[in-house]
Structure 1
C-alpha cells in the first residue's frame, strides 16, 4: 500500500508536465499531445499485457472438434489408435467414440482438471492401466459401454474417485471379467461415491458375493439383458439407498424369500422377460407380488408383464392370475415316490443277503468237507507235477521214466 501511495503521489506531481504517450512526441496541442499517461497506469498495463501473454494458447487436436464456449471436445469416428495429446484444459465434456483405442493410459488425460463427463464408448477398449482415471478430480460421469474390456488394473480410478455414474453396458469381454477383474475394483471402496452403475448386456451368469458391498451411495443398478439365473443371498443387503433395480430379460426362474427380504424400501424393480417356473417354489414370490400390487407404492413396476414359462400347461399365463391350486406340486410327489422305491430296493437286497448267509451257515459242514476235498485234489495234482519234473531233470532216470510210461 505504501508503494502504491508513493507511486500515486509521484504521478500526481509529474502529471503537471503532461508526459507524452510515446517517445518523440512532444507537448503541445493535437491529439498526441492531449494524451497523458501516469506511471501507475503504465505499470498496470504492463502487468495486464504480461499476464495475457503468459497464458498458453488453447489448441484443438487436428482430428477433433472443439467448442471453447461449450467446453466440449468431440473425436467421433476418427479411427484413432490412442487418445489425442494436448487436449485443451478447458474441456468439461470429452467425447471420444467409435475409434480403435485398445488401452487407456493416464498421460493423455493429465491436466484436465475441469473434465466432468467422459464418453469412451465403442472404442474396442481392452484395458484400463493403473491410474488411468485417477488424475481427474471433477469427473462425475464415465461411459465405457460397447467395448471389449479384458482387464481392469488394481486402481484405475485411484484411491478415491468422485465418479457418480458409470456405464459398463456391453463393455465386458465375457462374463468372467466381472469376477476376476471388475469385482475387486468395486470392492476396493474407490467408487464409494457412485450413484448409478449400468452392467446390462454383459452375458453375466452370476453375481460374485459382496460385489456391491462397497457402494453405499448406489441408487440405480442396471442388470438387464444378461443370463442371471438368480441373486445370491445378501447381494443387495448393503444397498440401503437403492431406488431402481433392472433385472429384465435374464434367466431368472424364481426369487427366494431371503432375496425379497433384502430389497430396500422404496425400491422400483423390473422383472419382465424372465423364464419363470410356475411350481410350488414360486408360491413365495406369487404371494409377495400380490401383496405388492395392493400396496400404495408397489415395488415391481412391470408385474403385469410377468408370465409363466414352464410347465407347458401354464406357459404364457400371467403370474398375478395364478392361484394356489394352479401351482401343482408334481415334482415333490415324484421325488417322494422315487425315494420310496429306493428304500424298498434296499430292503429287498438286505433280505437276499441274509438268506445267502443263512444258507452258508446251514451247510457249513458240507462246505468245509468240499473245500478239504478240493485242497487234497490240488495237492495230489501238484505232487504229480513235481515228481515228473524231478525225473526229467535227472538223465539217469530218463529211461526209467520212459519204461514206466510204456
Structure 2
C-alpha cells in the first residue's frame, strides 16, 4: 500500500483546498490555492450527460457521480495539463479509442463504478505518464492483449469487482513493466495458476486476491520476487482449497499477509501460513472464528512477527502460552472478541510490545496483567464494561503515551489511578458515567497533552481541577451537563490551546457570575461554547468573561438552544487576537455597532441561521473595526439585501456566502465595494429577473476574478411569468440601449419634422392657420357649453375698417336706432390690450348671429378672414343659422376663387346684396330684419335680389 500512499500524497500536494479566483463556472466549483494557474475543478453530482466546459489549464478534475454514458474523442482535447481525472460513479459503457490521446500529463485516472465491459486496444492510448488507474466495480470481462502496452509508467491498477473469472485474462495488464500494485479481488477467480499469469519475475510489490472463491492456488515459478504484501482475505470456498507452492522461497519477500475470514479448512489454512517460512512481519487473522486459533498461531508466529491482528474471532479465553512464539510482537489486536480476563503471565517475556488493542470485549475490571509490559505505549480498552480503576492497575507503565478508556461504565476516578503514567500524552475517558472529577487528576499525569471527558454526566467544574496538568493542550468537556464553572476552574493550564465545552448547560450566568471563569489559560487559542443555553439580556456586561484570553483566535457560540438574545457590546473585550467567530443559529436579531471593536484581527465571521431581516440589523459600522475580514457567512438570515456592505469598507473580503435569503437584487455599486471578492455563493435567493440585475448577471458569467458558485442554480422568483427560470438564462441584451442608434433615430426625426414643417408652411399655411382658428373656436365653444351663458349681442358685425363709414351711417342707425338690436363692433366693444383673436372669438360666440359685410377690401383683410373662419366653424359645429352674408358691392365669382372659404359659403348659403345707387333699400332692410329674427336651427328664406 506504500506506493499508492506515496502517489496519493504526491498528487495531493497540488490541491490545497481554498477558493480560486481564476475562473467562473456555472455548474462547477474551483478549489485550489488562490491565483493558482492550475485550478482544481469539482463538478461532481451535477447530473451532467456530457463533459462540461472546463478551463484549459485545469490540473485536477472531478466529474464523478454524473450521468455520462460514453467518453468521446475531443472531450478532453483542451485539457493537456490535466494530472488527476476522476470520472467514477457514472454510466460509462464506451470509451472511444483515442479519447485520452491529449492527456499525456495525466498521473491518475479513476473510472471506478461505471459499466465498462472490456478494455480495448486503443482505449488507454496516450496515457504515457499514468501512474494510477482505477477500473474497479465495472463489468469488465475481457482485456485486449495490447491494451496496457503504452502504459509504461503505470504503478497502481485496481480491477476489483469485475467479471474476469480467469487469471489469463489479467495477463495483458503485465505489459506495464513498472506495475507495483495490482488489486484483482472479487473477480470470481476459481483458480490461480502462476504460469497462466507469467513465468517471468514481476515487479509487483502489492497483490490483492481477496474475495475470490479459489479452489486451486498453484505457484510453480518464482514470479513474486519483489512482493511484500499479499491479501488472501475471504478466499476459498466450502472449506476446500488446494494450495500448491512448489518452493517455500517463492514468498520469501512477503512481509505482510492479510488472511481474514478465509473459507477453508484448518489444514489448508495451515498450509498457506507455512508457505511464508515464518518470515512475516505483519499478519491479519481477523474473522477466522471457525478455525482453531492456536493452530493458526503455531503456523503464523515467529520471532520476526511484529504485528498480529486477531479481531472478530469470537475469542473468549486466552491461554497463558498461546503467544509464546510471538514474543517479539510490537502490536497485537484482540479487539471485538468476547474476552473478559487476561491471565497474569500471558505477556511475560514480551519485551517489545508497544500497542495492545482490547476494545469491544467484555472486561468489567482491569487487573494487573499490564505489570510486565514496560514498553507499552498505547492501550485501547474502549467499548467494554469497565466500572472502576484501581490504583495499581497501570503501575510500571512508564512508557505509556496513549490510553483509551472511552465508552465504558466508569463513574469514579481515584486520584491515584494515573499516578504512575509519567509519559501519558492522550487520555480518553469519554462516554462513561462520571458525575464529578474531584481530585482525579491531583497527581497528574503531568505530561498529558490531550484529555477527553466528553459524553459524561459532569455538572460542575471546580476550582483548580486541572492544576497539575500544566502540559495539557486539548481538553474535551463537551456533551456533559455542566452548568457551573468556578473561578480559576481551569487555573494552571498554562499551555492549554483548545477547550471544548459545547452541548452543556452553560448559561450567561455561568460565564458572568464570577469574573475569573476563564482565567489561568494564558495561551488558549480555541474555545468552543456552542450548543449551550447562553442568553444575554444586557447591552453591556459587568464582568466580560473573556478578558484574560489575550491569545484566543477561535470562539464558537453558535447554536445556543434558547437563542443568544443579543451580543453585549463588550462581550469580546480582551480578545485582541480573535480571528474566527462563530455565532450562527442563535436567533440573533441585531448586532451592536461596537461588537467587534475589541477584535481587530477578525478575518472569519459566521452569522448564518439568524433572524437579521430588519434593515438595520447589521449596521455598516459593525465592520469598520475588522477591516481584515476575508470570509463572511450570512446564509439563511432572512436578509432582503446586501446593502449594508456598501459602506462597510471590507476591501479584503474574499469569500461571501449568503445562501437561502430573500435577496432579489445585486447592483454594480455593491460588487465594486468588494474589490477582492473571489468566491460568491448566493444560492436559494429570490432573484428578480429584470434589467435591474443586468450587471450582476453579465458580471457573474464573465468575471475572471470572482467565482459565483453554481450560478445555473440561481432561479427567478419575480416576475411571476419567469418564476423558476434560471437567472443566467435571462436575456440581458434586451436591457442594452444602443446610443448610436438612438442618436441616428433622433436626428432623422428632427430632419424629417423640419422638412415636413417647411413643406406644410409653404404649401398649406392657410389650412394650418385655419385649423388653428378652428381649434381656438372649438375650445371656446366647449367652454360656452359648459358654462351655459346667454348671448350678450344680437349680432357680431364683421367688416373691413375702410367700410366703417357705411357701418356708422347706414347699419348702426337702422339696426340699433330703429330696430333696437345690440351689435358687437370692433372699435367699440373689443377689450383693449387683449389679443385680437380672443376678442374675435369671444365676440362671435357672445352674439346670436354674425353679419359679414363683404367687399373687395374685406376679402383682402386677414382679420376679416379669421372672423369668417370662426363664424363658419360655429355654423358647422352648432348646425344653426348663425351666419348672414351681405355683399356691399358686386364681386364676380372668379374674383372669389382665391378666397376659397368665402367661395364655399356663397355656394352653400343665400346672401343679401346692398342695392345699387338709386335702388330702393327698404327690401334690403326688411330681409336683414327677417334674417336676424330667424330662430336658431331654422334657415331664413332670404332671396337674392
Q: Into which bin does the TM-score normalised by the smaller protein fall?
A: 0.5 to 0.7
1:28 alignment partner in structure 2? none
**1:277 paired to 2:682:** no
Aligned residue number for residue 725 of structure 2: 317
1:303 corresponds, among 707, 711, 715, to: 711
1:237 shift after superposition: 4.6
SS of equivalent to 1:183: coil
Cα deviation, residue 236, structure 1:
5.9
Task: Give the whole-Å Cα distance in 1 for the aligned partners of 2:663 and 2:789.
Answer: 60
- Select the residue among 663, 669, 676 that pairs with 1:258: 669
Relative to 1, partners in 2 of residues 1:184 and 1:361: Cα closer, same or farther, differing over 3 Å?
farther
Aligned to 2:557: 144
Q: CA deviation at 1:159?
A: 5.8
Matched residue SS, 1:272: coil
Q: Is the 8 Å Cα contact of residues 89 and 114 (structure 1) preserved in structure 2?
A: no
Post-superposition shift, 1:303?
1.6
The DSSP-based 3-state class of the residue aligned with 2:728 is helix
In the alignment, which residue of structure 2 is the partner of 1:216?
627
Q: What SS does the corresponding residue of 2:660 show, helix, strand or coil?
A: coil
Q: Any idea what SS the aligned residue of 2:595 has?
A: helix
Q: Report the RMSD for the aligned CA atoms in angstroms.
A: 3.4
For 1:256 and 1:313, how far apart are their aligned partners in 2? 22
Residue equivalent to 1:247: 658
Structure 1 279/239 Cα, relative in aligned 2: closer, same or farther at 3 Å?
A: same
* Superposition deviation, residue 68 in structure 1: 6.7
TM normalised by structure 1 equals 0.59
Residue 194 of structure 1 deviates from its aligned partner by 0.5
CA distance in structure 2 between the aligned counterparts of 1:161 and 1:150, rounded to whole angstroms:
24
1:315 Cα shift? Answer: 2.1
Match of 2:490 in 1: 87
Q: CA deviation at 1:284?
A: 2.2
Matched-pair contact (CA < 8 Å) for 1:237–1:263: no
Could you say what secondary structure the match of 1:304 adopts? helix
Change over 3 Å in CA distance of 1:233–1:194 after alignment to 2: closer
1:131 alignment partner, one of 525, 536, 544 = 544
Alignment of 1:122 onto 2:527: no
Cα distance, 1:318 vs. partner? Answer: 1.7
**Any conservation in 1 of the 2:556–2:583 contact (CA below 8 Å)?**
yes
Q: 1:229 to 1:151 in 2, by over 3 A?
A: closer
Deviation of 1:122 (Å): 0.8
Residues 499 and 527, structure 2, Cα contact 8 Å, conserved in 1: yes
Q: Deviations over 1:274-318 (max 9, x none)?
A: 1111122222222222322xx2x4331222221212223322222
- Residues 8-27 of structure 1 mapped to structure 2, 5 A cutoff: none
CA shift digits 1:31-64 (9 cap, x unpaired)? xxxxxxxxxxxxxxxxxxxxxxxxx977999657
Note if contact 1:233-1:259 (Cα within 8 Å) is conserved in structure 2. Answer: no
Matches for 1:1-400 after TM superposition, within 5 Å: 71-85=473-487, 86-90=489-493, 91-103=496-508, 104-105=511-512, 106-127=515-536, 129=541, 130-147=543-560, 148-158=563-573, 161-171=576-586, 173-175=587-589, 177-178=590-591, 182-186=592-596, 189-205=597-613, 206=615, 207-232=618-643, 234-235=645-646, 237-292=648-703, 295=704, 297-324=705-732, 359=787
Deviation at 1:174, TM superposition (A): 3.9
Deviation (angstroms), 1:238: 1.4
Residues 174 and 167 (structure 1), Cα distance of their counterparts in 2 relative to 1, 3 Å cut:
closer
User: Could you say if the C-alpha distance between residues 231 and 274 of structure 1 is closer, same or farther in structure 2, counting changes exceeding 3 Å?
Assistant: same
Deviations 1:57-112 (A, max 9, x none): 77999657978765222222322223355225323211112122221223211222
Larger relative contact order (CA 8 Å, sep ≥ 6):
1
Secondary structure, aligned partner of 1:221: strand
Deviation of residue 160 (structure 1)? 5.8
Contact 1:92 1:114 survives alignment (8 Å): yes
Specify which structure has the higher proportion of helix.
1
CA apart distance, 1:135: 0.8
Change (3 A) 1:237 1:76: closer
Deviation at 1:209, TM superposition (A): 2.8
Map of 1:346 onto structure 2: none
Query: Larger C-alpha radius of gyration, 1 or 2?
Result: 2
Check whether the contact 2:656–2:677 (CA below 8 A) recurs between aligned residues. Answer: no
Alignment: residue pair count: 274
Deviations 1:236-280 (A, max 9, x none): 651122111101111001112211211222421111111111122
Residues in 2 aligned to 1:360 and 1:96: alpha-carbon distance in whole angstroms: 92
CA distance in 1, matches of 2:571, 2:555: 13
Change in Cα spacing, 1:84 to 1:137, as seen in structure 2 (3 Å) is same
Distance 2:556 2:682 in 1: 25
CA contact (8 A) 1:210 1:235 kept: no
Cα shift at 1:325: 6.2
Quote the offset at 1:359 in angstroms. 5.0
5+ residue gaps, structure 1: 1-55, 329-350, 363-406
TM-score (norm 2): 0.27
- Asked if structure 1 preserves the Cα contact closer than 8 Å seen for 2:546 and 2:574, the reply is no
Q: Secondary structure at the match of 1:290?
A: helix
The answer for the alignment partner of 1:52 in structure 2 is none
Is the CA contact 1:169–1:200 (under 8 Å) kept in the aligned structure 2?
yes
